[in-house]
């Protein structure tokens, strides 16, 4: 076990610096605007209809939700690394807001679906609903991580956190790429890269599991903290799964192709 000494502090600072470096730029405040960049090309009439505006509002709300979710995850992991209870508790209020946004998203989507949209519009609304669900779940995972952080902060740090911030960085980047692909049809290939990266997060998770088991075998007093950390890692791995779902939904949106549950 490592005492909270200079060495640990240094490691912590290092981990945080790396994590922040990757995540400090919050997040896909991608430009709003119309849902699709490619306006109708035929019939010479370029229309921006009331319908387009409503779809655009749905998209904006989803992006707000996404940026809050990303912020939540970033804060939860930061609260763990910096041992900051106050920051951990902020995640809770943010999560409540995300939950409200999910309900608003559903209400908007149902209103839009009642107008019997077709083709791209139909796929867009369905996909927006599903993404909002995945974001909401990711927000829940962030709050779960924050709760574990508060518990872990009551005891000395078990070990320098290396893999956890790395996993978190990867999961966040996956969410970001999936949403970038959602916003820009041109970047739709990004969604496919997300699918591949889920494997990396999974293997990192397994590696971390093995490491924590060895800590537990080493000394029973480590067990509580190890279990908390195990949960944190599990939650991050789940976030990467949600990012993968989002990427699959985005591929469906752009290509109309269902790529779920394929053996890679």
Chain residues that interact with other proteins, rule: CB under 8 A: 38, 40-43, 45, 47, 49, 51, 116-123, 255-256
Of residues 81 and 108, the one with the C-beta less far from other proteins:
108
Residue 21 Cα distances to 11, 157, 170, angstroms = 15, 22, 13
**In the complex, minimum distance from the CB of residue 192 to other proteins, in angstroms, rounded to a whole number:** 18
Residue 206 or 260 having the CB closest to other proteins: 260
Residues contacting residue 200 through CB under 8 Å, at least 6 positions apart:
170
Measured from the CB atom, the residue of 89 and 185 that comes closer to other proteins is 185
Place of tokens 């999910």: 102
Residue 109 CB, nearest approach to other proteins (Å): 16
Please say whether the beta carbons of 129 and 105 come within 8 A. Answer: yes
What tokens appear for 97 in the block? 């807001």
User: What is the smallest separation between the CB atom of 185 and other proteins, expressed in angstroms?
Assistant: 12
Considering the complex, state which of residue 11 and residue 57 has its C-beta at the smaller distance from other proteins.
57
Q: How many helices (H) and strands (E) does the chain have?
A: 7, 0
Tokens representing residue 142 in the block = 């962030």
- Please report how close the Cβ of residue 42 comes to other proteins at its closest, in angstroms: 5
**Min CB(248)–other proteins separation in Å:** 15
| Cα gap 64→29, rounded to integer Å | 7
Three-state DSSP at 41 gives: coil
Least gap, CB of 43 to other proteins (angstroms): 4
Round to whole Å and give the CA distance between 129 and 4. Answer: 45
Which of 65/109 has CB closer to other proteins? Answer: 109
Rounded CA separation 97/143 (Å) = 12
Which CB atom, from 125 or from 208, has the smaller least distance to other proteins?
Answer: 125
């Amino acid at each position: 076990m490592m005492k909270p000494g200079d060495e640990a502090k240094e490691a912590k600072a290092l981990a945080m610096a790396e994590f922040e470096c990757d995540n400090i730029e919050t997040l896909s405040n991608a430009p709003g605007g119309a849902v699709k960049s490619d306006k109708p090309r035929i019939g010479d009439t370029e229309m921006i209809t009331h319908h387009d505006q409503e779809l655009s509002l749905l998209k904006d709300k989803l992006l707000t939700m996404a940026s809050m979710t990303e912020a939540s995850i970033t804060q939860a992991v930061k609260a763990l690394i910096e041992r900051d209870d106050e920051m951990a508790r902020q995640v809770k209020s943010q999560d409540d807001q995300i939950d409200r946004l999910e309900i608003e998203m559903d209400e908007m989507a149902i209103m839009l679906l009642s107008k019997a949209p077709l083709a791209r519009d139909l796929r867009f609304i369905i996909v927006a609903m599903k993404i909002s669900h995945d974001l909401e779940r990711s927000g829940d995972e962030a709050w779960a991580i924050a709760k574990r952080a508060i518990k872990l902060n009551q005891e000395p740090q078990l070990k320098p956190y290396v893999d956890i911030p790395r996993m978190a960085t990867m999961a966040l980047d996956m969410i970001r790429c999936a949403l970038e692909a959602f916003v820009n049809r041109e970047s739709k290939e990004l969604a496919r890269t997300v699918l591949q990266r889920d494997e990396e997060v999974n293997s990192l998770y397994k590696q971390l599991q093995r490491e924590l088991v060895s800590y537990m075998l080493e000394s029973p007093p480590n067990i509580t903290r190890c279990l908390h950390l195990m949960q944190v890692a599990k939650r991050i791995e789940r976030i990467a799964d949600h990012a993968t779902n989002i990427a699959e939904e985005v591929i469906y949106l752009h290509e109309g192709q269902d790529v779920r549950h394929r053996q890679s």
